[in-house]
Amino acid sequence: MKYRTWGDYAINSFLMLLAVITVLPFYNVFITSFADPAAVVKQQFYLLPTSFSLVSYKLLLSGSYVGKALANSVIVTVAGTLVNMLVTACGAYALSKKTMPGRGAIMAGIVFTMLFGGGLIPYYLTIKSLHLINSYSAMILPVAVNTFFLLILINHFRSIPPELEESAKMDGANDIFILFRIVLPISKPTLAAITLFYAVSRWNEWYLAMLFVNDPKMHPMQLFLRNMLQDVTKMRRDDMGSAMLAELSQTYPDGLKMASVIITMVPIMLVYPFLQKYFAAGVTLGAVKE
């Protein structure tokens, strides 16, 4: 049964070709970001790099702007993920208890929000009326819960044997104590998975920042990147590290753009090996047996 047929070769060739197509654009971004501007002007180098230079990175990172954008992204990611986990875990625990009166109605109300929303304008007006404009909160609170992750966690909590909690209850422990001292510690793998997924989406945040944060000093890396991709030359001189950077942005915008892409991508690449472990849990709601 293990011998190879032509079918195996055909399938593998096709899948390998798909893999190359997936990787090639990344390879291309890398060599563009590490290319020497002078070499780029002279020849086309994209497929095989002929030069290596860190000038794009040096200039980008020497400016205060990228540093600030990175710091903002870190703040939003760390604080945002913390809020996400706290609100989701506490809420999911409560909603995993079938004895809680009103639980059915609450669940229906939550699932309804997956199907029907108010739309952009009412959303915008709500956030405005809460005075969240131009605050870090505007990038954190509107996405405090992901309904999908909430449902996964409710399912997970429900799968914990009730005996574990019952004895603690006999001893007079309340739900908050049980959650933090018994349930959360034994749920570490699931919590880790959801934390990672939340962290990735917080890192990728740009939309709320674009809508609600006008002050460029508070923009996260993704929005900085977006503005740069739209038009490097529009970036103001004082946003950049030096006059030389501004000049480079006129003559060789691609290197700067791709260096920014790489910088924005690095954190995702670092957590990717961990994320991968949790793929199945992330999409199947735990319903499918492995």
Q: Which of residues 95-134 bind other proteins (CB under 8 A)?
A: 95, 97, 99-102, 106, 109-110, 113, 115-126, 130
Full DSSP string of 177-189: HHIIIIIHHHTHH
163 binds other proteins, rule: CB under 8 A: no
22 binds other proteins, rule: CB under 8 A: yes
Site for other proteins in 79-98 (CB under 8 A): 86-88, 90-95, 97
Question: Minimum distance from CB of 176 to other proteins (Å)?
Answer: 5
250 binds other proteins, rule: CB under 8 A: no
Q: CA–CA separation, 249 vs 90, rounded Å?
A: 48
Contacting other proteins (CB under 8 A), which of 9, 14, 52, 274? 14
Residue closer to other proteins by CB (options 44, 250) is: 44
What are 258's two structure tokens?
Answer: 């791709």
2 binds other proteins, rule: CB under 8 A: yes
Site for other proteins in 173-212 (CB under 8 A): 174-176, 179, 200, 204, 206-207, 211
19 binds other proteins, rule: CB under 8 A: yes
Question: Minimum distance from CB of 87 to other proteins (Å)?
Answer: 5
Q: CA–CA separation, 72 vs 1, rounded Å?
A: 56
Give pairs for 90-97: CB < 8 Å, separation 24+.
90/179, 91/145, 91/150, 92/150, 92/153, 92/154, 92/156, 92/157, 93/157, 93/175, 93/179, 93/183, 94/175, 95/150, 95/154, 96/153, 96/154, 96/157, 96/158, 97/175
**Four-point Cα dihedral 136, 138, 141, 145, nearest 10:** -110
249 binds other proteins, rule: CB under 8 A: no
Site for other proteins in 52-81 (CB under 8 A): none
Q: CA–CA separation, 77 vs 103, rounded Å?
A: 31
Residue closer to other proteins by CB (options 21, 243) is: 21
Question: Minimum distance from CB of 245 to other proteins (Å)?
Answer: 18
Tokens 């501007």: give the residue.
37
158 binds other proteins, rule: CB under 8 A: no
Contacting other proteins (CB under 8 A), which of 64, 214, 251, 284? 284
